[in-house]
Amino acid sequence: MNRIEELEKIILLLKDDEWRVRESALDALGSILQAMPAKEALERVILLLKDNSSDVRYWASKVLESILQCDPSLAIDALEQIISFLKDEQGYVRYFAIKALGKIVACDPSLANKELLEQIKPLLKDKEYYVRESALDALAGIVACDPSLAKEALEQIKPLLKDDLSSVRGSAIDALGKIIDINPSLVNKELLEQIILSIKNDEWNVTYSAINTFGKILACDPNLAKEALEQIIPLLKDDSSSVQKYWAIKALAGIVACDPSLVNQTLLEQMIPLLRDKYWEVRDSVIDVLGEIMALVQITFKTKQKGE
């Protein structure tokens, strides 16, 4: 039995119902591929990314990563072959092609450029939500390798903050957060307002992502803290849901951490009634945040005393 026949039999076992068999098959697959010339092994694995079985596609992406780690010089060959998959009629092929691109760029960051960004852009409008999500992640990965693309990527991401699916909106916010980490100069009032809209109006999972990015925005530009406070305070009086109140309180913690001077009697008076809120999540979070606020005030007061 030659290596190709062995490979085909092993691939069938990647679809086995028993996970232990699938793992053993993966190990065997790796051994067979290592015995092949590297370029031939790469071509075989890339073909598996189009397999009908999701298990095979998943394991193929893992093996591709291993091959590229062993021989990063193959990254450009892999990129040339994967690019064509981005236009495949099957959504799952497009999805795994994007994931593979991420692994390729991680092995050779020099391949992340404007041309690759242009290849990813159409997939941000893909009909399959999971393709849009993976495209957002890939976009952030490209910017991590080439920060000069941050501004253009940011503009491409913004429309997905209004996507029909909450999981895509959450992925868009996460991607924004990663890009802000790379280029803090992109933070501005408009971006802050877009994230606050997500805190005000969106589902729990999206609001969680929004709070994290909200904190990053304020850390990049503390001058926005006062503006943020004015928009967050009204949410403390929203009795329709515990979600908005809960995250508004968490947002307050981030605001005062950036600018402790915003803590005053008026702010505390807004928060104290929440200790008796009908939602236990709200009561619990306000206790934590009040503790953080008082600790900040104490530290600020002691620092002023030392300076006098």
Task: Write out the E strands in the chain.
Answer: none
User: How confident is the model at residue 2, as a pLDDT?
Assistant: 61
Sorted by sequence, the CB contacts under 8 Å of residue 209 that are 6+ apart come out as 170, 171, 173, 174, 177, 198
Domain boundary, last residue among 96, 111, 126? 111
Domain boundary, last residue among 111, 139, 160? 111
User: How confident is the model at residue 224, as a pLDDT?
Assistant: 93
For residue range 27-59, what is the model confidence (pLDDT) as tens digits? 787 777 777 777 888 888 888 777 777 777 777
User: How confident is the model at residue 5, as a pLDDT?
Assistant: 72
Which amino acid, 211?
I
Residue 239 domain-assigned (yes or no): yes
Helix H or strand E encompassing 118? helix 114-120
Rounded Cα distance, 49 and 229, in Å: 48
Distance set, CA 96 to CA 46, 99, 130, 296 (Å): 10, 5, 10, 47
Distance set, CA 51 to CA 12, 46, 47, 75, 86 (Å): 11, 10, 7, 21, 15
Rounded Cα distance, 173 and 220, in Å: 16
User: How confident is the model at residue 190, as a pLDDT?
Assistant: 93
Residue 210 domain-assigned (yes or no): no
Q: How many domains does the chain have?
A: 2
What mean pLDDT is predicted for residues 280-285? 91
Distance set, CA 141 to CA 119, 136, 145 (Å): 14, 9, 7
For residue range 63-82, what is the model confidence (pLDDT) as tens digits? 787 777 778 888 888 888 88
Residue 153 domain-assigned (yes or no): no
Question: Where does the pLDDT of residue 295 fall: very low under 50, low under 70, confident under 90, or very high at 90 and above?
Answer: confident
Residue 71 domain-assigned (yes or no): yes
Structure tokens at 41: 């092994």
Residue 145 domain-assigned (yes or no): no
CATH number at residue 295: 1.25.10.10
CATH number at residue 75: 1.25.40
Question: Where does the pLDDT of residue 298 fall: very low under 50, low under 70, confident under 90, or very high at 90 and above?
Answer: low
Rounded Cα distance, 263 and 196, in Å: 20
**Residue count of the chain:** 308
| Higher per-residue confidence, 212 vs 299 | 212
Domain boundary, last residue among 84, 111, 138? 111
- Checking if the pLDDT of 302 tops 50, the result is no
What mean pLDDT is predicted for residues 94-98? 90
- Checking if the pLDDT of 227 tops 50, the result is yes
Residue 138 domain-assigned (yes or no): no
Give the burial string for 156-180 (b: 16+ CB within 10 Å, else e).
bbeebbebeebebbbbbbbbbbbbb
User: How confident is the model at residue 153, as a pLDDT?
Assistant: 96
Question: Where does the pLDDT of residue 4 fall: very low under 50, low under 70, confident under 90, or very high at 90 and above?
Answer: low
For residue range 136-185, what is the model confidence (pLDDT) as tens digits? 999 999 999 999 999 999 999 999 999 999 999 999 999 999 999 999 99
Residue 278 domain-assigned (yes or no): yes
- Checking if the pLDDT of 305 tops 50, the result is no
Domain with 76 in it: 1-20+28-111
For residue 89, the tally of other CB atoms under 10 A from its CB is: 6
Question: How high is the mean pLDDT of the chain?
Answer: 85
- Checking if the pLDDT of 196 tops 80, the result is yes
Distance spanning both ends of the chain, measured CA to CA: 85
Question: Where does the pLDDT of residue 84 fall: very low under 50, low under 70, confident under 90, or very high at 90 and above?
Answer: confident
Question: pTM for the full model?
Answer: 0.78
Residue 82 domain-assigned (yes or no): yes
For residue range 107-127, what is the model confidence (pLDDT) as tens digits? 889 999 999 999 999 999 999
- Indicate the burial class of 245 (C-beta count within 10 angstroms; 0-12, 13-18, 19 or more): buried
